[in-house]
Structure 1
């Protein structure tokens, strides 16, 4: 059994961009797990409407 693993998880989230407004997109999180408990997010990115991959720092969460 490995103590530290890296897992990838995709889920739908509402995001807000200045140009498009609110949109629903798939966001992929890459997380480190210690004994199956997530403790650190290494990277998160999203896929745009046109199929491009972008970093999530360019958009804010809609509240």
Structure 2
């Protein structure tokens, strides 16, 4: 495995961001399918999704 000195390359950061969002949206989908209303913890609220969107824009280009 190739090691990168310093911060990870953009593709790596993008991949982790996409996987995290995929897991999160799968969790929300499962809640909806189970008849539960999805909710965000108060400390995250809409800011979490805005930050995730910004991270994707920054890493995807």
TM-score after normalising by structure 2 = 0.22
Higher RCO, Cα 8 Å, sep 6+: 2
Structure 1 or 2: larger helix share? 2
Q: Which has the larger radius of gyration?
A: 2
TM-score after normalising by structure 1 = 0.21
